[in-house]
Amino acid sequence: MRALAALATALILAGCAWIDPATNVVEEISPTILMYLHLNEDSELESTIVVPAVKNEQKQVLTARGKTLKETRQKLNFGYSREFKSGQLRMLFLSEELARKGIIRCLNTLLLDQEISDRMYLAVVRGDFTGLLRKQIQEQKNYDRILYKRFRHYEHQVTSQNLHFFLREYYSPYADPRLPLFEVRDGQLVYSGTALFLDDRMVGAIPGEADAFFQMIDNGKGYFPNITSPEHDVVLGKVTTARKIKYDAKNERIVITVHLEGQVDEYTGDLNLGDPQEAERFMRGLKEDLEARILEVVRSLQELSVDPLRAGLSTVTLFRERFPGGEWRKRWPELTVTVRVDLGLSNLGMSKPEE
Amino acid sequence: MSRGMRAEERGAAGGLWPASLGWLFVNRLQVVLYILVLPHVLLYPYMIWAIVIVGFLSHFNLRLLAGWLRTEEARLGYEGFVRLLGERATRALAVPGAAALLLDSAIVTLDYLEVAHHVLFPSVSRLTLLPLLWLVSFYLAGQGMLLAGRFVVMAFIGSVWIAALFIQFLFPPAAEYRLLLPVFPKEPRGDLALILPALWAALSGPQYLAFAGRRFAPAGRMFRWLALGNALTVLEYIVFFLAVTLSFGTEYMRKIDYPVVQLIRYIQLPFFERLETVVIPAHMILYVFLDAFFILFLRDALRVAAGAARKPERPGWLTAAAFLWVAVVYVIGRFFWTNETQHRLWIHVHVWLAGALYALVPSFLALAAARRRRRSDRTLT
């Protein structure tokens, strides 16, 4: 029995064996949780990290330049007192310049590195992110961790992608990847929509104002604290959405149905929502408005000929692929898309005070 | 029924394996090769049916195996083989048998070491873990066939939970169900001539039980236990395959060396990450069992080939077998398994070798036993 216990221990702990020439003594290494990649004017890769991630020391922002990702990493190591390790890397920020040139080579390098988790968040940044990091790390010591917490918190409300999902969509013939787009504005990192990719190159973006409508059709289920419709003078709150994408083979079109539930949080318009007829008019108008806005988002995707909605997947049936090979790519921009919104609003009546 | 139970209990008391151990044997001997075989062949969603079909074929093959294990010859061990084939043929067959066994176990073991090297210790030689694995297997083999066989219970408990880790990948958000389409394609893609043998090889392993007939306590329900093990394997394969397909999709899966391991790495528990550092070493317990088993079979084969099967057992044979085993694994691993191309080649060798053994051994033995029975019936009348 004792021999058995020893055996079991030896086997389980084999994964921790210190037989690697690359040592992992905690005092000698410095993990990082954030990395930023940028392509500068000379087409050189610039990689920036924040170290140390855990120790109670003054944090530093380090930058190195090189032709390849690994070259920059080596330079980072030479320029710092401890070896930097990517085992805890949780966020990878890519500059817009790099994203527009193509990122698959960088991602491939990261995928091959067995230390790096596929759960690493990816994001595109517009503006001087290195400068922002330098400034913020002085003001908020744990800025890198705060960013990570932010990613985790908003996972279901804004675009949030990790390496795994990005690559799955990159390789799929029926989908295109998308990443969250951040902007450095007045010393803050502002979420400003969704970056759209064709293959591995960023080709456009859904702006921040339209992003909620993109989210509604991007996720099977969504939740939004607020949706604003200025045209109808209304703010909807506690909005939950469920969307379905179907391919209508007879009419060769894509039908997107969004079921939306929520309540009227603020209403500044002139209709008396307590009156059933006026309420119905209001609902119809709002529904048409939402449909039009969603359709606008879809149109902009079709114009860029990207399909981040994975609409192509709904054309595959149990028995066959209707658009095998790369055919979906060619057909998607020309397809007719119909958007239907099912509106289920609660709490309408008391919004308008009696005059 | 009650008589069967009593026979089993008697068997256990008398130092035999109860027939109910059969399902564990079949299941663990089959799944041990899974990580090795799946990623290279099963790419398209419809191949889920191939798993089911090959599972059925394996079911019938196990019927033959159970039939053979019921015969008197199987119970007699060496003497039984001599009765069937004659002493000279038995001794002559032991040589290619030992060679096939060595090759099979070397490939399986090296593939595991390759995974451990790739994921856990990329900067050291893939043979680093071999001494540990060998020592433990040798120790286990030294406990004798009976105990080494019963160790299958530990191997089962120590590794079956890994399949449970994959259940989360059958549900959103990780799973995208539409990636499973088309599941009944009109024009199937992929090379079925390669996939079916590979799947067959993934279900191989139980053929080695054919040589352990005398270790089993006599009981009438052997086949049911074997079939249960086979069904469990098929179920596990389906879970693995679904998890991998729903998470990666065909195109991405193609690009990854070990999709199954990749998926384990994706698991993030609130208190624990990088589960592969535990899962892959835990998986080693299967190889400990398997290699101890192989070393013992190798010892028996060597003794038979040397004509020493009837002589009293000496520990020297086991030591010789263990050293021969580790030497072969080392030489193949060191000199003939140095790059990706050779790796692929060995996988192909394994698919055909293990597949052929699994197809031929039970049917050959069942046939030989049936022929002998007919002949002895004739001489009686």
Going by DSSP bridges, is the β-strand pair A178-185/A83-85 parallel, antiparallel, or unpaired?
Answer: unpaired
Q: In terms of domains, do A237 and A97 share one?
A: no
Q: Does the pLDDT value for residue B188 go beyond 80?
A: no
Q: In terms of domains, do A201 and A230 share one?
A: no
In a domain, B317, yes or no: yes
Cβ neighbours of A242 in B, within 8 Å: none
In a domain, A70, yes or no: yes
Q: CB of B294 within 8 A of CB of B105?
A: yes
Cβ neighbours of A162 in B, within 8 Å: none
Return the pLDDT at A272. 79
What are the distances in angstroms from CA B352 to CA B43, B101, B104, B192, B346?
A: 19, 13, 10, 14, 10
Mean pLDDT score, A325-331: 86
Percentage with pLDDT > 90 across chain B: 28
In a domain, B246, yes or no: yes
Q: CB of A106 within 8 A of CB of A124?
A: no
Q: Does the pLDDT value for residue B31 go beyond 80?
A: yes
Mean pLDDT score, A292-309: 92
Residue A285, both tokens? 């108008």
Mean pLDDT score, B216-225: 82
User: Going by C-beta distance under 8 Å and a sequence separation of 6 or more, which residues neighbour residue A18?
Assistant: none
Q: In terms of domains, do A224 and A353 share one?
A: yes
| Residues B107-127 pLDDT 10s | 999 999 988 888 888 888 888
Provide the terminal-to-terminal Cα distance of chain B, rounded to the nearest Å. 33
In a domain, B380, yes or no: no
In a domain, A334, yes or no: yes
Q: In terms of domains, do A148 and A168 share one?
A: yes
Q: How confident is the model at residue A16 (pLDDT cuts 50, 70, 90)?
A: low
Q: CB of B362 within 8 A of CB of B207?
A: yes
Cβ neighbours of B251 in A, within 8 Å: 171-173
Domains in chain A: how many in total? 2
In a domain, B371, yes or no: no
Domains in chain B: how many in total? 1
Q: In terms of domains, do A178 and A281 share one?
A: no
- Taken in order B14, B18, B19, B21, is the CA torsion positive or negative? negative
Question: To the nearest whole number, what is the mean pLDDT of chain B?
Answer: 86
Least confident of A162-166, A304-308, B51-55, B213-217: B213-217
Closest residue in A to B173 (Cα–Cα): A220
Cis (ω within 30 of 0) for the bond into B45? no
Residue B77, both tokens? 């061990």
3-state secondary structure of B117: helix
CA distance A119 to chain B (A): 6
Region of residue A199 (phi > 0: left; psi between -120 and 50: alpha; otherwise: beta):
left
Closest residue in A to B187 (Cα–Cα): A320
Mean pLDDT score, A301-320: 89
| Residues A120-178 pLDDT 10s | 999 999 999 999 999 988 888 888 888 888 888 887 778 888 899 999 999 998 999 99
Percentage with pLDDT > 70 across chain B: 93
Q: How confident is the model at residue B55 (pLDDT cuts 50, 70, 90)?
A: very high
Q: Do A317 and B182 touch (CB under 8 A)?
A: yes
What is the CATH classification number for the domain harbouring A308? 3.30.300.210
Q: Do A11 and B181 touch (CB under 8 A)?
A: no
Q: CB of B106 within 8 A of CB of B329?
A: yes
Q: State which of A206, A241, A271 marks the end of a domain.
A: A206
Q: In terms of domains, do A56 and A202 share one?
A: yes
Q: Does the pLDDT value for residue A99 go beyond 70?
A: yes
Q: In terms of domains, do A104 and A219 share one?
A: no
DSSP at B312: P
Going by DSSP bridges, is the β-strand pair A83-85/A29-31 parallel, antiparallel, or unpaired?
Answer: parallel
Q: Which residue from B64, B97, B355 is spatially nearest to B89, judged by alpha carbons?
A: B97
Cβ neighbours of A316 in B, within 8 Å: 178, 181-182
Q: In terms of domains, do A272 and A202 share one?
A: no
Mean pLDDT score, B290-308: 91
What residues pair up with A258 in beta bridges, in sequence order?
A243, A341
CA distance B278 to A12: 6
- In order, the DSSP letters of A291-313 are HHHHHHHHHHHHHTT--TT-GGG
Q: Measured in whole angstroms, how far is the alpha carbon of residue B210 from the centre of its chain?
A: 13
Query: CB under 8 Å, gap of 24 or more: what pairs does A205-213 form?
Result: A205/A181, A206/A297, A206/A300, A210/A293, A210/A296, A210/A297, A210/A300, A211/A158, A211/A159, A213/A290, A213/A293, A213/A294, A213/A296, A213/A297
One-letter amino acid for residue B90 of the chain: T
Q: Is A318 on the interface with B (CB under 8 A)?
A: yes
Q: How confident is the model at residue B11 (pLDDT cuts 50, 70, 90)?
A: very low
Least confident of A41-45, A54-58, B167-171, B327-331: A54-58
Return the pLDDT at B35. 65
Going by DSSP bridges, is the β-strand pair A45-51/A60-66 parallel, antiparallel, or unpaired?
Answer: antiparallel
Q: Does the pLDDT value for residue A355 go beyond 50?
A: no
Q: Which residue from B33, B30, B46 is spatially nearest to B231, judged by alpha carbons?
A: B30
Q: Is A54 on the interface with B (CB under 8 A)?
A: no
In a domain, A29, yes or no: yes
Domain that holds residue A88: 21-206
User: Going by C-beta distance under 8 Å and a sequence separation of 6 or more, which residues neighbour residue B100?
Assistant: B353, B357
Percentage with pLDDT > 90 across chain A: 30
Q: State which of A206, A241, A259 marks the end of a domain.
A: A206
User: Going by C-beta distance under 8 Å and a sequence separation of 6 or more, which residues neighbour residue A156?
Assistant: A219, A222, A223
Return the pLDDT at A229. 82
- In order, the DSSP letters of B203-226 are T--GGGGGGGGGGBPP-TTHHHHH
CA distance B42 to B180: 13
3-state secondary structure of A187: coil
Closest residue in B to A312 (Cα–Cα): B178
Total count of residues recorded for chain A: 355
| Residues B305-319 pLDDT 10s | 988 878 888 888 999
Return the pLDDT at B312. 81
| Residues A20-44 pLDDT 10s | 566 667 777 888 889 999 998 888 8
Q: In terms of domains, do A58 and A116 share one?
A: yes
In a domain, B195, yes or no: yes
pTM for the predicted model, two decimal places: 0.88
Q: In terms of domains, do A177 and A286 share one?
A: no
Q: In terms of domains, do A174 and A283 share one?
A: no
Q: Which residue from B309, B74, B146 is spatially nearest to B317, judged by alpha carbons?
A: B309
Return the pLDDT at A123. 93
| Residues B75-85 pLDDT 10s | 888 888 888 88
In a domain, B49, yes or no: yes
Q: Does the pLDDT value for residue A258 go beyond 90?
A: yes
Q: Give start and end residues of each alpha helix (H) in chain A.
A: 2-12, 69-78, 96-101, 104-112, 129-139, 143-153, 163-171, 208-218, 276-303, 327-331
In a domain, A178, yes or no: yes
Q: Do A168 and B178 touch (CB under 8 A)?
A: no
CA distance A39 to A43: 6
Highest-pLDDT range among A22-26, A36-40, B31-35, B373-377 = A36-40
Q: Do A313 and B252 touch (CB under 8 A)?
A: no
In a domain, A325, yes or no: yes
Q: Does the pLDDT value for residue B166 go beyond 70?
A: yes
Q: CB of B197 within 8 A of CB of B351?
A: yes
Q: How confident is the model at residue B251 (pLDDT cuts 50, 70, 90)?
A: confident
Q: Indicate the helix (H) or strand (E) that contains A65.
A: strand A60-66
Burial (CB count within 10 angstroms: exposed 0-12, middle 13-18, buried 19+), residue B107? buried
Bigger pLDDT: A51 or A342? Answer: A342
Q: Which residue from B129, B110, B94 is spatially nearest to B328, judged by alpha carbons?
A: B110
Domain that holds residue B137: 15-183+191-357
In a domain, A43, yes or no: yes
Point out the residue among B122, B186, B268 whose CB comes nearest to the CB of A114: B122
3-state secondary structure of A228: strand
Q: Give start and end residues of each alpha helix (H) in chain B.
A: 2-13, 22-31, 34-41, 47-70, 72-76, 78-85, 87-119, 130-142, 145-150, 152-165, 192-202, 222-255, 259-266, 276-305, 315-335, 340-380
Percentage with pLDDT > 70 across chain A: 93
Interface test with A, best of B113, B121, B135, B154 (most A CBs within 10 A): B121
Q: State which of A190, A206, A222 marks the end of a domain.
A: A206
Residue A235, both tokens? 């703010």
In a domain, A4, yes or no: no
Return the pLDDT at B1. 38
Q: In terms of domains, do A220 and A199 share one?
A: no
Point out the residue among A4, A21, A171 whose CB comes nearest to the CB of B123: A21
